[in-house]
């Protein structure tokens, strides 16, 4: 048995993978498979990709069909960062073109915390314990 987080995009899977794996330390893309001419989706888009985000396996794809739903902040990646400089770097890279759900600050449960949504709609909780 094998469990992984799965994210379904509508054309942004590879761009999101590149952002996530270049921003989160100890992360990399394992594989990317693409739709061909007869794949039912835009040729070259991601039919299935596997990556590791700081040790957590995940998969994603570009949906071959359009749908009305997208990501919700109630599901997010929660990251405990090592220091303020690392947290700031990750925060700044992920929030570019996105939005702050909870701006960087001291909320009592953490000395420095932020909850953001990146430009692709994926939510991240960035904690400095």
Residues 49-66 have pLDDT tens digits of 999 999 999 999 999 988
CA 94 to chain centre: 9
Q: Checking phi first, is residue 15 left (phi over 0); if not, alpha (psi -120 to 50) or beta?
A: alpha
* CATH number of the domain enclosing 101: 3.30.720.110
Are both 54 and 98 inside the same structural domain?
no
Q: What's the pTM value of the predicted model, to 2 decimals? A: 0.93
- 113 is in which domain, residue-wise? 76-128
For residue 70, tell me if it sits in a domain: no
Residue-level pLDDT at 39: 66
Domain end, chosen from 38, 62, 86, is at: 62
For residue 67, tell me if it sits in a domain: no
CB 112 within 8 A of CB 87: yes
Residues 68-119 have pLDDT tens digits of 999 999 999 999 999 999 999 999 999 999 999 999 999 999 999 999 999 9
């Amino acid at each position: 048995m094998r469990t992984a987080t799965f994210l379904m995009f509508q054309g942004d899977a590879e761009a999101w993978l590149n952002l996530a794996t270049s921003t989160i330390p100890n992360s990399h893309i394992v594989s990317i498979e693409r739709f061909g001419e007869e794949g039912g989706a835009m040729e070259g888009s991601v039919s299935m990709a596997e990556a590791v985000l700081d040790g957590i396996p995940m998969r994603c794809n570009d949906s071959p069909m359009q749908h009305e739903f997208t990501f919700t902040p109630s599901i997010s990646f929660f990251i405990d960062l090592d220091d303020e400089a690392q947290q700031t770097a990750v925060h700044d890279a992920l929030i570019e073109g996105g939005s702050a759900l909870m701006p960087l600050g001291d909320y009592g449960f953490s000395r420095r915390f932020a909850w953001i949504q990146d430009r692709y709609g994926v939510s991240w909780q960035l904690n400095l314990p």
